[in-house]
C-alpha cells in the first residue's frame, strides 16, 4: 500500500462529475474507495455519461454493483458503510433519505462516519431541489459574469463549479471532518455546494472589487484579459503564447527580451492605453511562430509560456520531467497531485468495470459465502 491515506476506507455512491473527482482524489492518495453502482450500470452502453475504460475520473476504485432499492441490497450497503471512515454521494437533496441511506441512518450505524454530500445548490435554500449544471451554479456565484469577452460571459469548461468549487471543496471539507473525528470520535455531514465553492474561489476578486480596483466590465481588469500584459497573443503559425509579466521588473525584462523600446509601452498600468498597447504587441507577436517566441522567452522571468493543446501538453519537456502525465492502459491522463515526499501516491489503477469487484469486496468486508449467495438469490447482486 502507498499514499498517505492507505488505511482510509471510503464508500462512493456512483454519480457523475464532481463526486467521482473527489473520490478520485482520495483513491489517488491511497484510500480504499469502494464505489457502489446500480446493477443496471453493468449493461450501460458507451456514451458521454458513461465513458467505460476512458472514465479516468473513476480510476483506482473497487466496484460493487448493488440493488439498493431491495431491502437486502440496502442492508448490504449499510454493512459496508458501518466499516467505512467516509462516504460520498452526489444525489439531489432527499434522495439518499428516500433510499434509507441518509445521514441519520448511516451515522446511527457508524457514529464516526464523515458523510460527504455533493450538490450544485446545496442541501438547503430555495433552489436546493432544482436541476442544474456547472454553468448554472457558477452563474449564481458571480464567477461566470467575470469570465469571458466584453460581449458575453463564457463558461470556463466545468473547472470552476464541478471540480474547483465542488470536488476540491468537498474533499477539503471531508478531510477537515476526518481530522476532527479522530479527536472527537464523532462523524458529521459535509454539505458541499458548487455555488458556495465557486463563490469561495472568487474571494480575492471580491476583495479587489471592494477596494475599487475591479469593475463588473469583462476584459477591463488586470486578470480577465483587459490588461495587455496579461493575456494571449496569436503567432504567425496560428498558435498562441500566454503572456503575464505583471510586476514592473518582469515587464521591463519582457520588453527587453522583445527588443522593444517604445515610449507608448512604457506605462503598463494606464487602462486607457491598454487597447492601443495590446494592438502593438499583437502585431509584434504575429511576426514569428509560437516556438520561435518560446525559444526567446520561455523559462525567463518575462513570464511567457506556450498555449499547449491537449496533445501537446503531455509532451512538453517540463511536464515530462515532472511526470505530470501518466499513461494507464494506453490512456494518457494527469498524474496525482500534489507530490508528497515520504508517502507518495502510487501510479493510478484503471477504472473498474461496474460490479467487477462485488464478491471480492463483500468477502473482504466480512460477508460469508451463504450471505453472498442469498444476495444473489434475491436479486440484490449479480
**C-alpha distance across the termini of the chain, in Å:** 29
Work out whether strand 9-13 and strand 86-89 pair parallel, antiparallel, or are unpaired. Answer: parallel
Do you know the residue count of the chain? 382
Q: Is 144 exposed, middle or buried (0-12, 13-18, 19+ CB in 10 A)?
A: buried
Q: What share of the chain is helix, strand, coil (3-state, %, to 5)?
A: 40, 15, 45
Secondary structure tally for the chain: helices H, strands E: 14, 11
Angstrom distance (rounded) from CA 102 to CA 65: 19
Contact 192, 164 (CB under 8 A): no
Q: Is 315 exposed, middle or buried (0-12, 13-18, 19+ CB in 10 A)?
A: exposed
Work out whether strand 9-13 and strand 231-234 pair parallel, antiparallel, or are unpaired. Answer: unpaired
What Å distances lie between residue 142 and 145, 172, 184, 308, CA to CA?
6, 22, 37, 28
Opening angle at CA 15, ends 181 and 366, nearest 5: 55
Helix (H, G, I), strand (E, B) or coil at 128: coil
Contact 228, 264 (CB under 8 A): no
Cis omega before residue 338 (within 30°)? yes
**Which residue numbers are catalytic?**
133, 162
Angstrom distance (rounded) from CA 304 to CA 293: 9
Amino acid at each position: 500500500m502507498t499514499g498517505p491515506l492507505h488505511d482510509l476506507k471510503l464508500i462512493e455512491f456512483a454519480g457523475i462529475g464532481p463526486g467521482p473527482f473527489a473520490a478520485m482524489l482520495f483513491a489517488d492518495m491511497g484510500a480504499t474507495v469502494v464505489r457502489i453502482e446500480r446493477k443496471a450500470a453493468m449493461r450501460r452502453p458507451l456514451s458521454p455519461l458513461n465513458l467505460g475504460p476512458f472514465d479516468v475520473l473513476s480510476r483506482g476504485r473497487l466496484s460493487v454493483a448493488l440493488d439498493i432499492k431491495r431491502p437486502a441490497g440496502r442492508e448490504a450497503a449499510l454493512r459496508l458503510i458501518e466499516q467505512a471512515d467516509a462516504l460520498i454521494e452526489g444525489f439531489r437533496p432527499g434522495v439518499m433519505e428516500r433510499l434509507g441511506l441518509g445521514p441519520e441512518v448511516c451515522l446511527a450505524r457508524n457514529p464516526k462516519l464523515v458523510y460527504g454530500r455533493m450538490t450544485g445548490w446545496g442541501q438547503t435554500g430555495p433552489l436546493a431541489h432544482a436541476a442544474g449544471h456547472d454553468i448554472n451554479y457558477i452563474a449564481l456565484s458571480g464567477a461566470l459574469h467575470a469570465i469571458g469577452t466584453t460581449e458575453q460571459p463564457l463558461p470556463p469548461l466545468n473547472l470552476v463549479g464541478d471540480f474547483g468549487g465542488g470536488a476540491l471543496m468537498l474533499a477539503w471539507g471531508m478531510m477537515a471532518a476526518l481530522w476532527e473525528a479522530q479527536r472527537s470520535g464523532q462523524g458529521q455531514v459535509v454539505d458541499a455546494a458548487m455555488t458556495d465553492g465557486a463563490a469561495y474561489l472568487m474571494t480575492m476578486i471580491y476583495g479587489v472589487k471592494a477596494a475599487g480596483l475591479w469593475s463588473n466590465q469583462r476584459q477591463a481588469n488586470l486578470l480577465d484579459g483587459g490588461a495587455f500584459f496579461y493575456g494571449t497573443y496569436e503567432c504567425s503559425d496560428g498558435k498562441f503564447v500566454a503572456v503575464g509579466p505583471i510586476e514592473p521588473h518582469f515587464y521591463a525584462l519582457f520588453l527587453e527580451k522583445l527588443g522593444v523600446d517604445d515610449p507608448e509601452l512604457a506605462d503598463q498600468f494606464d487602462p486607457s492605453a491598454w487597447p492601443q498597447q495590446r494592438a502593438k504587441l499583437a502585431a509584434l507577436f504575429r511576426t514569428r511562430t509560437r516556438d520561435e517566441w518560446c525559444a526567446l522567452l520561455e523559462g525567463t522571468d518575462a513570464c511567457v509560456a506556450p498555449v499547449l493543446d491537449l496533445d501537446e501538453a503531455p509532451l512538453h519537456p517540463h511536464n515530462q520531467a515532472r511526470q505530470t502525465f501518466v499513461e494507464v492502459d494506453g490512456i494518457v491522463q494527469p498524474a496525482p497531485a500534489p507530490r508528497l515526499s515520504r508517502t507518495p501516491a502510487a501510479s493510478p489503477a484503471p477504472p473498474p468495470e461496474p460490479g467487477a469487484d462485488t464478491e471480492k469486496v463483500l468477502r473482504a468486508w466480512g460477508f460469508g459465502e451463504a450471505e453472498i449467495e442469498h444476495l444473489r438469490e434475491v436479486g440484490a447482486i449479480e
